[in-house]
Amino acid sequence: MPRSYASNRKKFGNSSTRLGAEVSSPQQAAAELQHAIANKVREYVLDHHSDLKAYCDKEHLPAGLSYERLQRIMRGETMMTFTDLMYWGRRIPALGSFVGEAVTEISSEAVVEN
């Protein structure tokens, strides 16, 4: 579960600061990336639809995506997939470049274990 890497689990998807002090595994790096993307999604939804439930009620979601699934992703209870990323990438301007920059930043700060 991605939010298990957070120093405070309630922080996942709700804060622009990092989940933990240092990244020491690929799983933790993925959790940091999902946390950063969840924040971008949260900001987009707040700016355009008020909350995730209102967004999901208004938008036609493709097969496999639902309010419940998106809610679990946003809380870090389940892993985000490429399908989820591509869905949001079509809606949020510059999400692709944000993800690229976040991957570079998280990777460069990771503590590499041999």
- 10-residue stretch averages of pLDDT, the chain, 114 residues long: 87 84 86 94 91 93 94 95 96 96 89 62
**pLDDT score, position 20:** 77
**pLDDT score, position 35:** 94
First to last CA, the chain: 24
**pLDDT score, position 6:** 86
| Distance from C-alpha of 94 to C-alpha of 19, rounded to nearest angstrom | 23
